[in-house]
Amino acid sequence: MPEARRLLAAAQAAADEGDAERAVRLCAEAVAAAPDEALLRLQAALLHARLARPASALALAMPALQDGAEARLADIGAMVADRLSALGEVAGAAALARRAAAGQARPAIRALLLAAGLPAYRQSLQDAPDTPLLEAMAAAACAEPSLLASADGAELARLAEEAGRDDLLRALGAAAGETGRARLLEHGRGAKASLPGLAHAATHRPARAALAFAAAHAAEPEDASARFNAGYAALAAGDAARAAAILAALPAAGEAMMAGAAWPHFGELPWPFAAPPEAARAAFEALLPPGARWPRIRLVTPCLNPGPWLEETILSVARQDYPAVEHVVVDGGSTDGTAAILARHRDRLHAVLTGPDSGPAEAIARGLAGSEADLLGWINADDLLAPGALHHLGAAWAARPDAGLVHGFAVIHRARRITGVQRALADGPQGFTPEGLADVFGRWGEGAFFLQPEVLVARHFHAALGGLDASLGAVFDYEFWLRAAAARPRIASAAWPAAFYRTHPAQRSGRRAALAAEQVAARDRHIRPAPPPGRAAEIGARLRGALGAPGRPARWLLIEPACAETVSPAALAEARAALAAQGVALALAREAPEGPPEADLVLRIAGAHDGPAWAEALRARGFAGPIIAWCAGDDRDAPSHAAMLRALDIAVPARAARRALLLQTQALVTEAMPPPTGILAEAEAAAAFAAGPTPGPAEAGPWEPGAERLAAALRGEGPMEAPDRHALAVALLAGRVPVMPRGVADLLGAEGLPEGREARHALGRAMLLAPSLLRLLGRLRALA
């Protein structure tokens, strides 16, 4: 133990002197001398975090900080977590803070858990929500109720509500109530003007509520919540014309703007359990153009164990009082009481079809088959039509019966709490193009197109397109819109809210990452986005300028935020020499300089959640050369990558299987190449492999220098764990068979793992810094 302490002190002294390589080596020796000493490991982790080595710090700290650790260990663990958070490693920081907070945690540790945990939880929503993290944050906040008075407390409450965790929300509310001052859920920007009306509505005083809502709209005409409330209050009073005038100008809005919106009520009951008064219905009837007839509309609701929402869907269609509607429910074999609901409302339905199907697309096709209706549509069993929807849509189409599509706009809600307004084709029907729809994470994700229940399709147009593709699970409607856009239909629109679109944790589209992959695959059947000719020419000109600087080497700046632990001095020297022979001068940095970079080309090894800010900052500082991201984390968070690529010139995918998710019209996306690892120089790796095993341990921690890790791997036999690309390179360099998670295995591409030690070693060498950068240089020269 004294020897381990001496080595750790020497490592800290080396770090103070700026000798990071020696500090890492001494730190590894200290841990090896006392591998079970938790305090020493945490101190070593803190040193690695100080040296900007977050992965190494986390690997050292996590085994040392068990749940319920004593206060001293929890404090050091929190210090490590705080440094990890500052380095941008919020997931690791949150994991470590959870363990620290589970011990004898001080208030500052619980605050740290929220500060790191909230962004980490938001990042997890793209794949699978980290529910244990949400629960841990709620427990920490309840144990320290003063946190609930902060913005982080309000955000935690919002996320708990969004996740459908009313139990956590109640616990947070009870804890906040004990302080007597904490406001758990702050009112959004759209709430203030509507508060008096909301109070009257909550106490069942509809007339007073209507007056208050009208006054709020008059005082704040730009307030989306006030406009929404005033419009539906006018409709509840029977003044459908005034409602239409108010609601027609309702803007696209998010949750903050709609925070003061009240669910529509008619009399004492909410929609759809009560309908607008007769005066409103008469006004809806008067929308029909002279001499026209109401088009017949068939709506299909596919369902399988839809729960109680189906009844509301049925009522929302029936309460339209539209004279020519056929509502068909297609039940795939529900066992949750759906049969009783259907029996209770059978007289409101045109038909009920039962029997197994392959999914909602096939169910909708069954429900539409043989219909002679003029307009066709479908509405899921968790959505509702809005009051007056069919009259407004039917009248708009009757005025333009040559239209292939007719649509209104959608109101988004969560358990009748209005969370947004989506105005499809707000810039006009000319925006309904395959190119626009192909922007999955841009225009589509931002709500430029249909959610679905707010649009109807003319029967002749539906037939010409061949209907829905039943082979698709969740994105059959998106694929249908792609085909529809390619046909360039005439489009009629109604400036009226046509549907209430429900969001909830259980809906199919809640699987964001899986949905995105399916959507992109469907898109690629029809169109693959690429920069238009003008943008491609601009990228090419920038690239040629950067690679052909007259009279001097081309200057590359490689930004690798994790370079302290992923690029050794020997690997950097080797890469510089190899590129210098090709006329390129290489510089390495953790982040871009504050001023304009002295470089012709900037290349960043980009993580999953890096976003566009770093590239935008480069442009703001006057950098005019090409900006390139090597997307090391492209197996996660496709929306973050899409936002980043809009600020770039070139993207290099790490995984061939993920390249399609990166395609868009701003950045040129190359073929996939595994991102480099610089933990060893190629010459070092070749010499070690040729020399074979040397005496020493057969295991090495990920915090040890690359040479020691490879030496240990060469001593071992059989499969070797490879949780990341750097461990994968070590395993391959040793000729071992790596055991990899899917995201790492995908780096090997379609070729997969080669047979034989020599072939695996050769593949590992190809992943190292110098050969990887030379390969990229060749590809960029070909592009230029």
pLDDT surpasses 70 at 446: yes
CA 521 to mean position of chain CA atoms: 17
| Cβ neighbourhood burial of 369 (10 Å; 0-12, 13-18, 19+) | exposed
pLDDT surpasses 80 at 316: yes
Instruction: Assess contact for 101 and 110: CB atoms under 8 A.
Output: yes
pLDDT grade for 199, boundaries at 50, 70 and 90:
confident
Which tokens in the block code for residue 658? 């993920």
**Is cis: bond before 196, omega within 30 of 0?**
no
Instruction: Assess contact for 359 and 470: CB atoms under 8 A.
Output: yes
CATH topology of domain 533-674+774-783: Rossmann fold (3.40.50)
Q: Does the predicted model carry a pTM greater than 0.75? A: yes
Nearest residue to 350 (alpha-carbon basis) of 300, 293, 391: 300
Say how far apart CA 26 and CA 704 lie, in whole Å: 9
pLDDT of residue 664: 93
Which tokens in the block code for residue 324? 């020519």
Residues 6+ apart with CB under 8 A from 633: 606, 607, 608, 609, 610, 641, 654
Say how far apart CA 267 and CA 206 lie, in whole Å: 7
Nearest residue to 405 (alpha-carbon basis) of 469, 470, 493, 339: 493
Q: Transcribe 646-686 into DSSP letters.
A: TT-SEEEES-GGGHHHH--SSSEE----PPPBBSS-HHHHH
Say how far apart CA 87 and CA 561 lie, in whole Å: 8
**Rounded to 5°, angle at Cα 94 from 90 and 98:** 175
Integer-rounded Cα Rg, in Å, for the chain is 30
Nearest residue to 213 (alpha-carbon basis) of 108, 675, 275, 224: 224
pLDDT surpasses 80 at 432: yes
Helix axes 224-236, 240-247, angle to 10 degrees: 170
**Rounded to 5°, angle at Cα 320 from 319 and 326:** 100
The strand pair at 491-502 and 384-385 is best described as antiparallel
CATH topology of domain 287-504+515-524: Spore Coat Polysaccharide Biosynthesis Protein SpsA; Chain A (3.90.550)
The strand pair at 601-606 and 554-559 is best described as parallel
Amino acid identity of residue 26, one-letter, is L
Instruction: Assess contact for 270 and 416: CB atoms under 8 A.
Output: yes
Residues 6+ apart with CB under 8 A from 8: 26, 27, 30, 40, 43, 44, 47
pLDDT of residue 185: 57
Say how far apart CA 229 and CA 208 lie, in whole Å: 13
Domain limits, the chain? 36-179, 192-270, 287-504+515-524, 533-674+774-783, 682-767
Residues 6+ apart with CB under 8 A from 44: 8, 11, 27, 30, 31, 60, 703
Say how far apart CA 33 and CA 440 lie, in whole Å: 53
pLDDT of residue 509: 41
How large is the average pLDDT for residues 177-206?
70
Instruction: Assess contact for 732 and 761: CB atoms under 8 A.
Output: yes
Say how far apart CA 453 and CA 450 lie, in whole Å: 8
Q: Which residue do the tokens 């697309």 mark?
A: 361
The CATH number given to 36-179 is 1.25.40
pLDDT of residue 187: 52
| Cβ neighbourhood burial of 286 (10 Å; 0-12, 13-18, 19+) | exposed
pLDDT tens digit sequence for 528-586: 999 999 999 999 999 999 998 788 999 999 999 999 999 999 999 999 999 999 999 99
pLDDT tens digit sequence for 575-623: 999 999 999 999 999 999 888 899 999 999 999 999 999 999 999 999 9
pLDDT of residue 551: 84
Say how far apart CA 116 and CA 702 lie, in whole Å: 23
The residues that bridge with 418 in the sheet, in sequence order, are 413
Which tokens in the block code for residue 383? 């959505």
pLDDT of residue 510: 45
pLDDT of residue 146: 85
| Percent of the chain whose pLDDT exceeds 90 | 82
pLDDT of residue 79: 95
Length of the chain: 784
How large is the average pLDDT for residues 17-27?
93
Which tokens in the block code for residue 36? 């079970």
The residues that bridge with 631 in the sheet, in sequence order, are 606, 653
The residues that bridge with 603 in the sheet, in sequence order, are 558, 628
Say how far apart CA 604 and CA 647 lie, in whole Å: 13
pLDDT of residue 508: 46
Lowest mean pLDDT among 296-310, 348-362, 473-487, 499-513: 499-513
Nearest residue to 473 (alpha-carbon basis) of 524, 526, 518: 518
Instruction: Assess contact for 416 and 317: CB atoms under 8 A.
Output: no
pLDDT tens digit sequence for 724-772: 999 999 999 999 999 999 999 999 998 899 999 999 999 999 999 999 9
SS3 at position 285: helix
pLDDT tens digit sequence for 139-186: 999 998 888 888 888 899 989 988 888 899 889 988 887 665 456 655
Nearest residue to 644 (alpha-carbon basis) of 606, 696, 685, 672: 606
The residues that bridge with 299 in the sheet, in sequence order, are 327, 377
How large is the average pLDDT for residues 701-717?
94
pLDDT surpasses 60 at 239: yes
Work out whether the CA dihedral 268, 274, 279, 284 comes out positive or negative. positive
Instruction: Assess contact for 712 and 742: CB atoms under 8 A.
Output: no
Which tokens in the block code for residue 446? 């931002």
pLDDT of residue 534: 97
| Cβ neighbourhood burial of 417 (10 Å; 0-12, 13-18, 19+) | middle
67 or 653: which leads in pLDDT: 653
pLDDT of residue 102: 86
**What's the chain's average pLDDT?**
93
How large is the average pLDDT for residues 107-126?
92
Say how far apart CA 490 and CA 443 lie, in whole Å: 20
CA 616 to mean position of chain CA atoms: 20
Phi, psi of 437 (to 5 degrees): -65, -30
Which tokens in the block code for residue 273? 């359990």
C-alpha neighbours within 13 Å on the C-beta side of residue 317: 31
